[in-house]
Amino acid sequence: MSPADSSRKQVLIVGGVAGGASCAARLRRLREDLAITVMDRGPHVSFANCGLPYHVGDVIADESKLLLASRETFHARFDIDVHTETEAVSINRAEKTLTVRDLRSGEQRTLPYDTLVLAPGAAPIRPDLPGIALPGVFAVRTLVDSRRIREWLREKAARRAVVVGGGFIGLEMVENLHHRGLEVTLLEKLPQLMPPLDPEVAAPLVAHLAAKGVQVRLGDGFTGISTAESGLVVHSESGAALPADLVILALGVRPETTLARAAGLPIGARGGILVDEQLRTADPAIYAVGDAIEVRDVVTGQEVVMPLAGPANRQGRIAAEAIAGRPTRFRGVQATAVVGIFGMTAASTGASEKGLRRAGVTDFAKVYLHPGHHAGYYPGAQPIHLKLIFSVPDGKILGAQAIGGEGVEKRIDVIATALQMGGTVHDLAEAELCYAPQYGAAKDPVNLAGMLACNVLSGDMPLADWDGLATTAALLVDVREPDEFAAGHIPGAVNLPLPELRNRIDELPRDRELWLCCGVGQRAYYACRFLMQRGHQVRHLSGGYKTYQALLAARAAASSGS
Ligand code: FAD
């Protein structure tokens, strides 16, 4: 540190990637009078960890493309001192000092601070299982990790990989290893991929991966790794022994709290550092941001850890504003996330149905729809499978999830913005969105989702409970054409095509509730409206046979375990 710095108030930042680097740069833009020092135990700061799987896959071949800013840039542009390969080892809160170790020389130094920001991120979970530290077993967190994986692939001429964990990093690694020509097996303990999604929304991922030749093993936990003559062998709870030249562990992450814990800073029930809305810890001189902290989920009101780049970057900026004396507050998180795999996109925002149930929330409803991503008459429309969850009776948006080809993330982003603004399904129905045939529809999927939900709230379209299908006394009426019905239908359903309904209404009982189904929900809705106005008790099976098939696939995975 230069002598001139000692007269300035000292801000020390531990961790120089998403949260730490954002905080440092924003703070300099607000306060020229502070001395700002960033330290990171790794050899790089401000690198794009989200790009690492694509570097492994050679989609981003040049490692330097992932380096967003260097030590030199920080110094020249912002007068920020960056110390790489420098680990923060302890905090003395009483004396307001931080002890750091130079990882090259082993030398320790103690630095005074006026304000300390902790942005240490989260570490990949490495369960204490046999073989976890064997050569060829990798987690993906840093540029050094991706470099080692690339070297291993090259040196061993690897042909077979096992990826453990089917969350977004696991899926991205599957795609990228497949891209490099490897045979890939994906092992996931849960009966679904992408745990933030509800199982019926995530269900199409399995067939999609299988169609690319990826072997997906759901409901099969990882128990360890051994070696054989041919390389590594990954073992699972079902007794499978999966040969591999390379194993990627993508089992999630755990907040890095060693420093904070040792300094006596409170840690929450989810394992993250506790902070207030200005991201200040229990010690007013210490802030914490990013994957290491607990934050409020704006939908459920619960404290969560949310290891995503967007929140980490925003928190870095907000902590800088708070340090600079501005009143900015962090609003909380809503878990907006997206993953792309082999041309399929899955995205979500807000709460999932299973998350709400876990949180004890019951006053909500959900609609399913499967519209095209743009006007059907324009070539190339691909379906988006969308689930919208909203509170009853006020219609507040609680969450949305979608899966499909094109245009998925655009719809989820629109709903995410409405959710963040405290919007309702009426706002979605009314949203004025871009439309030309190649981009959307005059009633965009977002509008349609809002309209369906409004129909539920107004009583125009009472919903049947998909979970009650097996036990209901209602008559299931499928209003599709006979050839569609013959190609597959819900067991027990009778077929009465919509165009014949008006003439054949007397065939339907008046003393029994009718549950109406079609392909995706639209024709059944028309039938509902007609029959309701003729005095029948009706309910709508939202999303129709498409949703039924997705629910069936999810249930089959849950009961079979693979
Ligand atoms: P990090 O960015 O992890 O930075 C923490 C830094 O602190 C690290 O460099 C670490 O070495 C350093 N550090 C820790 N302890 C110390 C110490 N004691 N002394 C010095 N330095 C220390 N999020 C998305 O939203 N979208 C994505 O597509 C996406 N893809 C991802 C892909 C991968 C492979 C990974 C690993 C993450 C991805 N993420 C993604 C998550 C996102 O990168 C993180 O949420 C974000 O980087 C968290 O920022 P952070 O500043 O809290 O921690």
> 80-138, pLDDT tens digit by residue?
999 999 999 999 999 999 999 999 999 999 999 999 999 999 999 999 999 999 999 99
Rg (CA), the chain: 27
291 Cβ inside 6 Å of ligand 1: yes
Q: Residue 2: which pLDDT band, with cuts at 50, 70 and 90?
A: very low
Show the DSSP H helices in 459-521 as ranges: 482-486, 501-504
The residue whose CB lies within 8 Å of the most ligand 1 atoms, and thus the one to mutate among 100, 289, 291, 305, is: 291
Looking at residue 3, its pLDDT comes to: 42
Query: Across 250-353, where does the E strand assignment appear?
Result: 253-255, 286-288, 295-296, 303-304, 337-341, 344-350
Residue 326's region, left for phi above 0, alpha for psi from -120 to 50, else beta, is beta
Q: Whose CA is nearest to atom 16 of ligand 1?
A: 120
Return the ligand 1 atom nearest residue 141 CA: 36
Q: Whose CA is nearest to atom 6 of ligand 1?
A: 15
Q: Does ligand 1 come within 6 angstroms of the Cβ of 260? A: no
What band does 418 get if pLDDT is binned at 50, 70 and 90?
Answer: very high
Closest by CA position to 368, among listed 548, 498, 190: 548
SS3 255: strand
Residue 68 CA to ligand 1 center (angstroms) comes to 14
* Predicted pLDDT of residue 562: 45
Beta bridge partners, 385, equal: 403
What confidence tier does 561 reach under pLDDT thresholds 50, 70, 90?
A: low
Report the sign of the C-alpha dihedral through residues 128, 129, 131, 132, in that order. negative
Q: Is the separation of the CB atoms in 114 and 95 below 8 Å?
A: no
The pLDDT tens digits for 177-201 are 999 999 999 999 999 999 999 999 9
Ligand 1 contact, 395 CB (< 6 A): no
Q: Measure the CA–CA gap between 470 and 160, rounded to whole angstroms.
A: 42
Nearest CA to ligand 1 atom 12: 15
Of 46, 49, 163, 169, best ligand 1 pocket probe by most atoms within 8 Å of the beta carbon: 49
Q: Nearest 10 degrees: CA dihedral of 397, 398, 403, 407?
A: 30
- Selecting among 50, 454, 517, 528, the annotated active-site residue is 50
489, 491, 492, 494 alpha-carbon torsion, rounded to 10°: 10
Cβ of 141 below 6 Å from ligand 1: yes
Euclidean distance between the first and final Cα of the chain, in Å?
57
Residue 4 has pLDDT above 90, yes or no: no
Minimal CA–CA distance to 37: which of 104, 107, 119? 119
- In the predicted model, what is the mean pLDDT of residues 366-374? 97
* Residue 1: predicted pLDDT: 45
CA of 283 to the centre of ligand 1 (A): 23
Q: Is the CB of 173 under 6 A from ligand 1?
A: no
Which atom of ligand 1 lies at the shortest distance from residue 20's CA?
51
Shortest-distance Cα residue to atom 38 of ligand 1: 50
- 41 in contact with ligand 1, CB cutoff 6 A: yes
Cα 403 to middle of ligand 1, angstroms: 26
Distance (Å, whole) CA 305 – CA 270: 7
In short, whether 290's Cβ falls inside 6 Å of ligand 1 is yes
Give residue 310's region: left, alpha or beta (phi > 0; psi -120 to 50).
alpha
Ligand 1 test: best mutation among 50, 60, 317, most atoms within 8 Å of CB?
Answer: 50
Of all residues in the chain, what percent carry a pLDDT higher than 90? Answer: 97
Q: What is the pLDDT averaged over residues 455-474?
A: 96
Pocket-testing residue among 12, 14, 17, 149, ligand 1, by greatest number of atoms within 8 A of Cβ: 17
Q: Identify which of 251, 308, 336, 413 to mutate to test ligand 1's pocket (most ligand atoms within 8 A of the CB).
A: 308
Annotation says 50 is catalytic: yes
* Beta carbon of 170 within 6 Å of any ligand 1 atom: no
Ligand 1 proximity of 15 Cβ (cutoff 6 Å): yes
Of 322 and 3, the structure prediction assigns the larger pLDDT to 322
Q: Which atom of ligand 1 is nearest to the CA of 44?
A: 9
Alpha-carbon span 307 to 22, nearest angstrom: 16
Regarding the beta carbon of 176 and ligand 1, being less than 6 Å apart is answered no
Q: What is the mean pLDDT of residues 369-382?
A: 95
- Ligand 1 binding pocket includes 39 (Cβ within 6 Å): yes
483: exposed, middle or buried (Cβ count in 10 Å: 0-12, 13-18, 19+): exposed
Question: How far apart are the CA of 101 and the centre of ligand 1, in A?
Answer: 20
Residue 330 scores a pLDDT above 70: yes
So what's the pLDDT on residue 558? 87
562 to 189, 222, 227, 397, 503: CA distances (angstroms): 10, 13, 25, 33, 47
Q: Which atom of ligand 1 is nearest to the CA of 40?
A: 21
Q: Is 50 near ligand 1, meaning CB less than 6 Å away?
A: yes
- 116 Cβ inside 6 Å of ligand 1: no
Question: Ligand 1 mean position to 122 CA, how many Å?
Answer: 6
409 C-beta closer than 6 A to ligand 1 = no
Give 242's strand partners.
Answer: 234
Nearest residue (CA) to ligand 1, atom 15: 120
> What is the Cα–Cα distance from 355 to 196, expressed in whole angstroms?
8
Q: Is the pLDDT of residue 380 over 90?
A: yes
Query: Is the Cβ atom of 88 under 6 angstroms away from ligand 1?
Result: yes
What pLDDT, on the 0 to 100 scale, is given for residue 79?
A: 97
